[in-house]
């Protein structure tokens, strides 16, 4: 139930020796057509990894026939040599695919590249290129699970999702312990569909979907150099859904994967939804939710099972959203401990013993709302991010 | 060597029972004149505590004859009752001072109020008001040390500083485990001088000083509801320094206190200076320094003694500052591990075993620079902020 569920795709994941653990670290997803349309969204970080710069160019061409992904190295902040290495990886991928059992009209310019791992070090090309060749040999119509495994870094579980529609489907795989716009623990996502759709329709569907899913999860507020979300369409189902139908299916898969990312975020002990209601605009709701999600004092309080609504209100106070301090209501797990900006229901009524926490903030300025998903700030987060370079 | 070093000031600190520990928790600083000019800067948080709203009004009057401070409760997010309590505290302070050994022409409107502690709870006025009376009785010409003790919360040491000039001086006391614009562990600072200076000169000196001191320390990026910095001038030295001389002395005291705040920040194991050089503007330098200072992945890496320059570059990439990713140089403790946006000197050369860390970022875009001081993100930070409400 992953990238190879939609018809027209093969995938693989192999161990090339990039990870010291010996686990799978090179993945390949190949679109066998008949269509090769695609869309992509990339990190907003101005320091972009070589594979991001490369894949942005590939996407401009409008055709993606294969995606090659590696864990064990981000190839970010690696200068011109890093970019040459990405280019060589795409060239090699195209070459081995042209020589494979299903010869394709494929050039390097049709190959998107994704990398994840430590920033600032060159990739061991002597291991990566043979790994790409092995991945090409290992391509299978049910290879999506192996591919999802090969892109894991600090992930504890592989992440896949699929939605089935009448005669067509959307599948996806993801890795990441952080998040899109925010996440240094790079988020990589490959989505596939056997629907038939032009590049503009795919692009609109992907942007609609990421805006309300990956863009609304926030593990630690840190933006990666490598975040990439790709959507490839093979048209192999011969079904052409409407733009709305496609966007809805892609959003559903993205939502599923986003929740899996948050559930597996580094060191998290809480899965927190911040529901902002009564906002004057959606942008206000997102800003408030994101600001609360990034506040270390809120995050440590929740780790400590402390319903500290004062820290939430103080975080709201740092935003530019329309609100009056003496009108804001805050609930934690449905207990309205703050009404009109001051203490209301008894904080001891808030049960924070479970993993799931919902913070509801009513700005009482309008009808707009948004939900941001985040995690707490725990000892395990500090441990994981201080003990290992990543 | 504190707020009572400059002539014309008395101070005190007493235990009124607001702190469960029984430690001092109410402080008073009184200006005996002959001048009563003053200036103040306050938190930029839109959710402002009642004492901040009150003191802002007092400062508009241009005369401050006394400052009453309490720990053990922030009186923030406490609604109209909270504001009434602050007003009552100022009224009571004025009344007991009028009845004291040095009767003064003092009204509530001449009394600034500062509070620090847990947000969202009303102050125990039945303890606070008798505490104010006791503090008035305890006022002494060398009471500054007791006052500095009475405003401590999670501070492990009381913080005072003084600079002596020819015939005049500036003294100060501070509390806070966080910082000004950023800091939920409220920062309170009272500065005194026996120089003679008008309100505009004081205001300019204070803004000049805070801009390059308290505004450039950043413990956890969280902005308090209560941060307050006050400067009171008695004119008792009969010396009128130039505006530049006064600003320089106030800046020196503020720098000293700011460094003490960072050194005592909650759970910190590192004292980190982020020197941003080669910026196109001072604003760019400050933005880059502050963004790096707030990045949890940078902060945890430094806690782990990991010279992870890739995380620093990734943080720079999220700013709007003018820079090219392939031109930035980064040094940690003077080892240039990143040149032109890629790996340079051997990271194993970086010695992070000590408490002091200097990160130098050269944007190579211009001549402007700024330094931001911060701390690491440690297990102790998580513990302190998850185990206790504050």
Q: What is the mean pLDDT of chain A?
A: 91
Report the C-alpha gap between B181 and A300 in whole angstroms.
Answer: 20
Between CA B36 and CA A182 the distance in angstroms is 49
| Shortest alpha-carbon distance between residue A185 and chain B (Å) | 9
For A46-55, B269-278, B325-334, B374-383, which range has the lowest pLDDT when averaged over its residues?
B374-383
Sign of CA dihedral A340, A341, A347, A352: positive
* Closest chain A C-alpha to B288 CA, distance in angstroms: 13
Contact across the interface for B297 and A184, Cβ inside 8 Å = yes
Helix (H, G, I), strand (E, B) or coil at A189: strand
A380 to chain B: closest CA residue: B379
Radius of gyration, CA atoms only, chain A: 22
* A167-193: average pLDDT: 76
Q: What is the mean pLDDT of chain B?
A: 91
Q: Which tokens belong to B2?
A: 């504190």
Interface contact B379-A377, CB threshold 8 A:
no
| Helix then strand then coil, % of chain A, to nearest 5 | 35, 25, 40
Which of B295, B310, B383 has its CB closest to that of A118? B310
Q: How many CB pairs under 8 A join A and B?
A: 191
> How far is it, in rounded angstroms, from Cα B365 to Cα A233?
43
Between A182 and B107, residue with greater pLDDT? B107
CB-based contact B79 A326, cutoff 8 Å:
yes
DSSP letters spanning B235-286: -TT-----HHHHHHHHHHHHHHHHHHHHHT-TT-S-EEEEEEEEESSHHHHH
Q: How far apart are CA A51 and CA B253, in angstroms?
A: 50
* Pick from B387, B16, B364, B2: nearest CA to B170: B2
pLDDT score at A224? 82
Helix and strand element counts for chain B (H, E): 10, 16
CB atoms closer than 10 angstroms to residue A260: 18
Q: d(Cα A297, Cα B136) in Å, to the nearest integer?
A: 35
Q: Say what the pLDDT of residue A25 is.
A: 97
Query: Which residue, among B44, B296, B335, would best test binding to A if mutated, counting the most A CBs under 10 Å from its CB?
Result: B296
Model confidence at A389: pLDDT above 60: no
Please give the pLDDT value at position B388.
56
Say which DSSP state B73 is in: B
Q: Note the pLDDT of residue A323.
A: 95
Token pair in block for residue A189: 């996502």
The H or E element spanning position A208 is helix A199-212
User: Of A209, A198, A211, A207, nearest to A242 (Cα)?
Assistant: A198
**Residues from chain A contacting residue B381 (CB–CB below 8 Å):** 296, 300, 382
Q: Which of A5-9, A217-221, B383-387 has the highest mean pLDDT?
A: A5-9
Angle of helix B199-212 relative to helix B243-263, nearest 10 degrees, comes to: 40
Nearest-Cα distance to chain A for B171, in Å, is: 30
Which residues of chain B does A79 touch, with a Cβ-Cβ cutoff of 8 Å?
326, 340-342
When CB atoms are compared, the residue of A44, A47, A74 closest to B325 is A47
Q: What is the strand order of the sheet A66-70 is part of?
A: A9-14, A26-31, A66-70, A111-115
**Percentage of chain B exceeding pLDDT 90:** 74
Is A300 close to B379, i.e. CB distance below 8 A? Answer: no
Percent of chain B with pLDDT over 70: 95
> What interhelical angle do A309-316 and A296-303 show, nearest 10?
160
- Strands (DSSP E) contained in chain B are 9-14, 26-31, 37-42, 66-70, 111-115, 159-164, 169-175, 188-193, 217-218, 228-233, 271-279, 329-332, 335-339, 342-343, 356-362, 368-375
Report d(CA A387, CA B381) in Å as an integer. 16
How many CB atoms neighbour CB A242 within 10 A?
A: 10
> In terms of residues, how long is chain A?
390
DSSP, residue by residue, B332-355: ETTEEEEETTEE-S-GGG----SS
- What is the per-residue pLDDT for B168? 96
| Best mutation target, A43, A76, A186, A310, to test chain B (most B CBs within 10 A) | A310
- CA B242 – CA A314 distance, rounded (Å): 39
Is A222–B340 a contact, with Cβ atoms under 8 angstroms apart? no
pLDDT higher than 80, residue B243: yes
Active site residues of B: 186
Kindly list the distances between the CA atom of residue B10 and the CA atoms of A191, A298, B221, in Å, as whole numbers in the listed order.
70, 39, 34
Closest Cβ opposite residue A304 in set B45, B377, B386: B386
Q: State how far residue A337 is from chain B, nearest Cα, in angstroms.
A: 10
The pLDDT assigned to A187 comes to 84
Closest CB to A317 among B46, B313, B315? B46
| Residue A36: pLDDT over 70 | yes
Res B203: pLDDT? 96
Chain A residues within an 8 Å CB radius of B310: 74, 76-77, 118-120, 225
Find where tokens 């009434």 sit. Answer: B84
Which positions in chain A touch B120 (Cβ < 8 Å)? Answer: 309-310, 313, 338, 342-343
pLDDT beyond 90 at A117: no
Residue A161 has pLDDT above 70, yes or no: yes
| Other Cβ atoms within 10 Å of B212 Cβ, number | 16
| Rounded-to-integer distance, Cα B197 and Cα B239, Å | 9
Q: What is the DSSP string of B287-322?
A: HHHHHHHT-HHHHHHHHTT---HHHHHHHHTTS-SS
For position A384, what pLDDT does the model report? 74
Task: Select the residue of A343, A379, A389 nearest B120 (Cβ to Cβ).
Answer: A343
At B389 the pLDDT is 54
Helical (H) or strand (E) element with A251 = helix A243-263
Half-sphere exposure at residue B4, Cβ-oriented, CA atoms within 13 angstroms: 18
Asked whether the beta carbons of residue A47 and residue B317 sit closer than 8 angstroms, the reply is yes
User: How far apart are alpha carbons A54 and A33 in whole angstroms?
Assistant: 22
Q: Which of A121, A223, A316 sits opposite B47 (nearest CB)?
A: A316
Question: Per residue in A231-277, pLDDT tens?
Answer: 999 999 999 999 999 999 999 999 999 889 888 877 789 999 999 99
Catalytic residue chosen out of the listed positions A93, A116, A154, A186? A186
- The pLDDT assigned to A99 comes to 87
Structure tokens at A301: 């309080």
Smallest CA-to-CA distance from B70 within B14, B21, B126 is with B14
Mind telling me how many Å the CA of B308 is from chain A's nearest CA?
Answer: 7
Q: How far apart are CA B223 and CA B364, in angstroms?
A: 31
**Binary contact (A46, B318; C-beta < 8 A):** yes
pLDDT at res. B314: 87
Rg (chain B; Cα; Å): 22
CB-based burial, A330-343: b 16+ in 10 Å, e otherwise = bbbbebebbbbbbb
First CA to last CA distance, chain B: 29
Closest to B332 (Cα-Cα) out of B285, B364, B366, B292: B292
Rounded mean pLDDT, A223-233: 89
Q: Percent of chain A at pLDDT above 70? A: 95
A121: phi then psi, degrees, rounded to nearest 5: -125, 145
Facing residues of A162 across strands?
Answer: A171
Question: Can you count the helices (H) and strands (E) in chain A?
Answer: 10, 16
Give the residue among A148, A387, A389, A342 at the shortest CA–CA distance from A261. Answer: A148
CA distance B223 to B43: 7
Q: What are phi and psi of A386, to 5 degrees?
A: -105, -25
Task: Check: CB of residue B6 under 8 Å from CB of residue B125.
Answer: no
């Amino acid at each position: 139930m992953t990238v190879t569920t939609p018809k027209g795709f093969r995938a693989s994941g192999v161990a090339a020796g990039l990870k010291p653990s010996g686990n799978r670290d090179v993945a390949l997803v190949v679109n066998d057509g008949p269509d090769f349309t695609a869309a992509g969204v990339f990190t907003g970080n101005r320091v972009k990894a070589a594979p991001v710069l490369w894949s942005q160019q590939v996407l401009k061409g409008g055709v993606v026939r294969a995606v090659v992904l590696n864990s064990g190295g981000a190839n970010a902040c690696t200068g011109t040599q890093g970019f040459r290495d990405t280019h060589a990886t795409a060239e090699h991928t195209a070459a081995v695919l042209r020589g494979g059992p299903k010869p394709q009209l494929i050039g390097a310019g049709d190959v998107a590249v994704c990398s994840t791992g430590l920033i600032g070090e060159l990739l061991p090309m002597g291991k990566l290129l043979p790994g790409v060749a092995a991945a090409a040999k290992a391509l299978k119509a049910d290879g999506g699970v192996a591919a999802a495994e090969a892109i894991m870094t600090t992930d504890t579980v592989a992440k896949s999702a699929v939605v089935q529609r009448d005669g067509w489907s959307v599948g996806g795989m993801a890795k990441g312990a952080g998040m899109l716009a925010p996440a240094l623990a790079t988020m990589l996502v490959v989505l596939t569909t056997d629907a038939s759709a032009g590049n503009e329709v795919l692009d609109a569907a992907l942007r609609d979907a990421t805006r309300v899913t990956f863009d609304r999860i926030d593990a630690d507020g840190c933006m990666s150099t490598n975040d990439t979300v790709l959507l490839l369409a093979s048209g192999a189902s011969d079904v052409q859904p409407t733009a709305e139908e496609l966007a809805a299916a892609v959003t559903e898969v993205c939502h599923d994967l986003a929740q899996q990312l948050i559930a597996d975020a580094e060191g998290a002990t809480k899965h927190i939804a911040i529901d902002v209601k009564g906002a004057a605009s959606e942008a206000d709701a997102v800003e408030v939710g994101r600001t609360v999600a990034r506040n270390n004092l809120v995050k440590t309080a929740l780790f400590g099972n402390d319903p500290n609504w004062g820290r939430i209100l103080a975080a709201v106070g740092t935003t530019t959203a329309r609100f009056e301090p003496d009108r804001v209501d805050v609930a934690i797990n449905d207990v309205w401990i703050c009404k009109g900006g001051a203490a209301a229901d008894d904080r001891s009524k808030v049960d924070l013993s479970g993993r799931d926490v919902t913070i509801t903030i009513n700005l009482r300025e309008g009808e707009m709302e948004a939900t941001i998903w985040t995690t707490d700030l725990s000892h395990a987060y500090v441990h994981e991010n201080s003990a290992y370079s990543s």
